Structure 1
Amino acid sequence: MKFLKVSSKSSPASVAGAIAGMVKDGAPVNIQSVGAGAVNQAVKAIAIARGFLIPTGVDISCAPTFSDIEIGGETRTAIRIAIYVHRISAQSSSSYLGPETSDDGACMGGEAS
């Protein structure tokens, strides 16, 4: 299995473009990150990619797992994130962006996703 490797220095917008492109091409998307900063960048990229894809009638979700990998002779724990693709109708795509929030981040209604 091939992984899109994301580091703490990866640009979320660039990774999001790669995710969206792979989804549009029908390629499986699996992300691998090591460290909190890298996982943060990966999650931001997934959120940005979702924003790119929803207007086209495609939504994505993800599932993280732990994996032990070897880097430079050391065993490290990686977070692997599988991306799942969901087709949606264009009519309902605006409701897929999640609940509205106020400036302080409080939920304004709807279910948290």
Structure 2
Amino acid sequence: MEVLKVAAKSNPNSVAGALANTIREKGGAEVQAIGAGALNQAIKAIIIARGYVAPSGVDLVCTPAFTDIEINGEERTAIKLIVVSKQ
């Protein structure tokens, strides 16, 4: 599954476009965010992406989970949002 990493400074419209394209091509994606700001941008992106794919009869389902990732040799806990299409 394709992983999209979102930062607090990410543009939600850009992330939404990438997410919508990944949903159309692969049927799902994993969105990773660390911190409240990044999670806020990720949620906004998912909402916007839902609007992009809705006209073609696709709805999105989002399942939240925790995941451990390594950044610069340091282990951090991220929130992953598993987004799949539902028709």
What's the TM-score, normalizing by structure 1?
A: 0.72
Give deviations 1:38-62, integer Å, cap 9, x for gaps: 1110000000000111111100010
Letter in 2 for 1:28: G
Alignment of 1:84-103 (within 5 A): 84-87=84-87
* Bigger strand fraction: 2
Within 5 Å, which residues of 2 pair with 1:37-56?
Answer: 37-56=37-56
In the alignment, which residue of structure 2 is the partner of 1:97? none
Question: Which position in structure 2 is the counterpart of 1:102?
Answer: none
Report percent identity of matched pairs: 52
Conserved? CA contact 2:23–2:84, under 8 Å: no
Given residue 53 of structure 2, which amino acid in structure 1 is its aligned partner?
L
Provide the rounded CA distance (Å) in 2 between the counterparts of 1:31 and 1:52.
17
**TM-score (ref. length: structure 2):** 0.91
Looking at structure 2, the residues matched to 84 and 24 of structure 1 have their Cα atoms a distance apart, in angstroms, of 10
- Partner of 1:3, secondary structure, is strand
Structure 2 counterpart SS, 1:9:
coil
The whole-number CA distance in structure 2 between the counterparts of 1:64 and 1:82 is 6
The residue aligned with 2:19 is 19
Q: Indicate whether 1:3 and 2:18 are aligned.
A: no
Which protein, 1 or 2, shows the higher relative CO under an 8 Å CA cutoff with sep ≥ 6? 2
The one-letter amino acid of 1:63's match is: T
Q: Give, in angstroms, the shift of residue 33 of structure 1.
A: 0.9
Number of aligned pairs? 87
In terms of Rg, which structure is larger?
Answer: 1
Unpaired stretches in structure 1, ≥5 consecutive residues:
88-113
One-letter amino acid of the counterpart of residue 70, structure 1: E
